[in-house]
Amino acid sequence: MAIEEIRRPDLGGPFPEHIAIIMDGNGRWAQERGMRRVFGHREGIGSVREITTESARMGVKSLTLYAFSVENWKRPRVEVRYLMRLLRRYLVDERPTLMKNDVRLRGIGRLDDLPTEARRVLRETEELTAANPGMCLRLALSYGGRTEIADAVKRLAEDVERGELAVADIGDETLRRYLYDPETPDPDLLIRTAGEMRLSNFLLWQASYSEIYVASKCWPEFRKQELLEALSDYARRVRKYGGLVADRPSPPERVAK
Ligand code: IPE
Ligand code: IPE
Ligand code: MG
């Protein structure tokens, strides 16, 4: 184990096993500073590194980062090209940090859409880190929630056609088996940066009961301190899944005065 010690902060309540983040606001961050949008993407890599490392050290089991959506291909060609170059460089440069922190990297999404070289270094980094025992870092690349569900349904239907699955046996959990990464449990905490309050096609199936936290800071400024703020907010949430938790004592700040 390369990480000396997992240090889970005591925030007075539950701690999320799986955190998913919509890393938004790179362009705005740069433009507010009179720079071109792409500088925001470059700066965002620093946040990816810090949040990954801190999450791994705090004992988060899975971290899913929304890095590029299926819809993002619609952006100007120069921006898409820059993002793909950045991805390629990140996947190579980050290897020592991932190894040092025991992180396993995995891509989820329509990975075949990625340029050949990006696909190749992604595979290499996945293989290099596959046996790491710590946190799983899932990079959502050319990812779309609806696309994921459509892809899953297609494969499920093929199994029905082949007679390997009976229609009568299909339930919620059956569909999950056909998603990109069925082994990873649903995110407990879903963070979006830059103040926007929408899912933008992220983890539509898996986020059904995730606790949502919106940070006002843009992604390049979302660092350890901001992560801790999100975690302490999460520690005060009461998760009911449609049921009742009347017996649960209220955290101190929620007790009526
Ligand atoms: C998020 O930042 C990064 C990607 C979607 C690839 P944006 O590029 O969306 O930045 P804003 O939201 O336009 O500021
Ligand atoms: C969501 O951000 C996608 C990623 C963070 C990769 P967008 O910037 O693409 O989302 P919208 O367009 O504001 O909904
Ligand atoms: Mg955006």
Please give the mean pLDDT across all residues of the chain: 95
217: left (phi > 0), else alpha (psi -120 to 50), else beta? beta
Mean pLDDT (whole number) for 93-117 = 98
Residue 68 alpha carbon, nearest atom of ligand 1: 6
**Which ligand does the CA of 79 lie closest to?**
1
How remote is the CA of residue 114 from the centroid of ligand 3, in Å?
A: 20
Within 8 A by CB and 6+ apart from 33, the residues are 39
Q: Domains of the chain, with CATH numbers?
A: 18-235 (3.40.1180.10)
At residue 257, does pLDDT exceed 60?
Answer: no
Nearest ligand, measured from the Cα of 219: 1
Separation of 209 CA from ligand 2 center, angstroms? 21
CA angle 183, 184, 187 (to 5 degrees): 150
140 lines ligand 2 (CB under 6 A): no
Q: How far is the CA of 204 from the centre of ligand 2 (A)?
A: 14
Name the closest-CA residue to atom 1, ligand 1: 24
Average pLDDT over residues 37-44: 98
- 168-194 residue pLDDT tens: 999 999 999 999 999 999 999 999 999
Q: What's the average model confidence in pLDDT over 56-79?
A: 98
User: Side chain identity at 229, as an amino acid letter?
Assistant: E
**Which atom, in ligand 1's list, is nearest to the CA of 37?**
8
The Å distance, Cα 94 to ligand 1 centre, comes to 21
Nearest Cα neighbor of 64 from 76, 75, 55, 73 is: 55
In the chain, % of residues over pLDDT 90 = 92
For residue 101, indicate whether it is catalytic: no
CB 103 within 8 A of CB 118: no
Is 72 considered catalytic here?
Answer: yes
pLDDT tens, position by position, 222-246: 999 999 999 999 999 999 999 998 6
